[in-house]
């Protein structure tokens, strides 16, 4: 009898609660690098407090299909989609988003691990 395939389990625990990891993908165009650095200096500790971590920031990327022309790719990992949504909609990030919007433009999507 063949054994069942081994599957990575995406269910993890954060602060004692079970969750499904969520990934947030940003495509960012920076217009004012100095002001963007100010945003980054403030958002990094806020992300850490939310349990998020950077998977990549601005590394080299290649497009293999389609006409997408990303500028700067940032991928974040959050404990769950709910954690991401609470962070994104919360007063800390909404205040910081004002700074981000002044110095850059972004497209972003969130996806829950399957």
Q: What percent of the chain has pLDDT over 70?
A: 83
Instruction: List the CATH number of the domain containing 40.
Output: 3.30.70.100
What number of helices (H) and strands (E) belong to the chain? Answer: 3, 6
Other CB atoms closer than 10 Å to residue 14's CB: what's the count? Answer: 13
Determine, yes or no, domain membership for 74: yes
Give the pTM. Answer: 0.80
CA–CA distances in Å: residue 22 to residues 77, 78, 80, 95, 104:
6, 5, 5, 22, 24
Q: Is residue 26 part of a domain?
A: yes
In this structure, the dihedral spanned by the alpha carbons of residues 7, 11, 12 and 15, taken in order and rounded to 10 degrees, is 180
Query: How do residues 21-47 score in pLDDT, each as one tens digit?
Result: 999 999 999 999 999 999 999 999 999
Task: Give every residue of the chain whose pLDDT is below 70, as ranges.
Answer: 1-19
Angle between helices 33-49 and 91-103 (to 10 degrees): 160
Q: Which domain holds residue 90?
A: 21-61+70-112
């Amino acid at each position: 009898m063949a054994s069942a395939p081994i599957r990575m389990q995406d269910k993890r625990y954060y602060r004692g609660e079970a969750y499904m990891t969520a990934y947030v993908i940003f495509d960012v165009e920076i217009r004012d690098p100095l002001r963007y650095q100010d945003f980054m200096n403030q958002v990094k500790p806020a992300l850490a407090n939310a349990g998020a971590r950077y998977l990549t920031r601005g590394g080299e990327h290649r497009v293999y299909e389609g006409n997408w022309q990303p500028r700067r790719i940032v991928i974040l990992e959050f404990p769950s989609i709910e954690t991401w949504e609470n962070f994104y909609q919360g007063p800390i990030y909404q205040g910081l988003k004002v700074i981000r919007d002044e110095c850059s433009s972004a497209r972003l999507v969130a996806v829950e691990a399957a």
